[in-house]
C-alpha cells in the first residue's frame, strides 16, 4: 500500500532525471528574417522589383490630389465639374486596383523568397544544434532565458561568403 502512494514521487524523480540531461536552444526566427544577409538581400531585391509600380501609384495619387484641388475650387463650370468628378472617381478606382494588385504580387513574391531562405535557415539551425549537441531547438516562445539563445550563431552561419 505504501508503495502505491509513493509511485507518483518515483515518476517525478524519473522524469526530472531524464530532463536534467536535455539541452535546449532557442532561435529568434523574426530576428533572423530581419537581420540575416540573405533576408536583407531578398528584401532589397523585392523593393527594387516593385519600385516602378510604387512610383506609378504615387503618380496616380498625385494626379488625384491635383484633380481634387481643382474640384475644391468653386469657380469651375458645372459641366467641367462633372467631367472632373468622373475622372477623379476613375483615378480612385485605378489607384485602389493598383494597390490591391501590388499587395497581392508583393506577398506572393515575398513568400517565394522566404521559402528559399527557410531551407537555408533550417540547415543553419540544424548545424548549430548538432555542434552544440542540443536535444531541442525552439523557435517561438513566450519567454526564454538568454543563455539558451543561439540566434547569433545561426546568423553567423547565414553570412554570405
**For the residues 91-108, what does the mean pLDDT come to?**
95
- At 111-141, the pLDDT tens digits run 999 888 888 999 999 999 999 999 999 988 8
- At 142-152, the pLDDT tens digits run 888 899 999 99
**5 grid coordinates:** 502512494
Per the model's pLDDT, the better-predicted residue between 71 and 7 turns out to be 71
- Report the C-alpha gap between 124 and 153 in whole angstroms: 9
- Report the C-alpha gap between 143 and 19 in whole angstroms: 19
The domain covering 22-157 belongs, at the CATH homologous superfamily level, to Skp domain (3.30.910.20)
> Which run of H or E residues covers position 142?
none
**For the residues 32-59, what does the mean pLDDT come to?**
93
Domain boundaries, the chain: 22-157
| Cβ contact 25:127 at 8 Å | no
| Cβ contact 158:38 at 8 Å | yes
> Which run of H or E residues covers position 140?
none
DSSP 23: -
**31 grid coordinates:** 530576428
Asked whether the predicted pLDDT for residue 35 surpasses 80, the reply is yes
CB atoms under 10 Å from CB of 153, counted, come to 17
Amino acid at each position: 500500500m505504501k508503495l502505491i502512494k509513493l509511485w507518483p514521487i518515483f515518476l517525478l524523480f524519473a522524469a526530472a532525471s531524464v530532463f536534467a540531461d536535455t539541452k535546449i536552444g532557442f532561435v529568434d526566427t523574426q530576428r533572423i528574417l530581419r537581420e540575416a544577409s540573405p533576408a536583407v538581400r531578398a528584401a532589397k531585391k523585392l523593393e527594387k522589383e516593385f519600385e516602378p509600380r510604387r512610383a506609378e501609384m504615387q503618380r496616380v495619387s498625385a494626379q488625384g490630389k491635383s484633380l481634387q484641388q481643382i474640384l475644391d475650387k468653386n469657380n469651375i463650370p458645372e459641366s467641367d465639374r462633372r467631367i472632373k468628378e468622373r475622372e477623379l472617381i476613375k483615378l480612385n478606382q485605378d489607384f485602389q486596383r493598383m494597390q490591391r494588385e501590388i499587395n497581392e504580387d508583393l506577398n506572393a513574391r515575398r513568400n517565394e523568397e522566404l521559402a528559399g531562405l527557410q531551407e537555408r535557415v533550417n540547415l543553419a539551425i540544424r548545424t548549430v544544434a548538432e555542434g552544440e549537441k542540443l536535444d531541442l531547438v525552439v523557435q517561438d516562445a513566450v519567454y526564454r532565458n538568454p543563455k539558451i539563445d543561439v540566434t547569433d550563431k545561426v546568423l553567423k552561419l547565414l553570412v554570405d561568403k
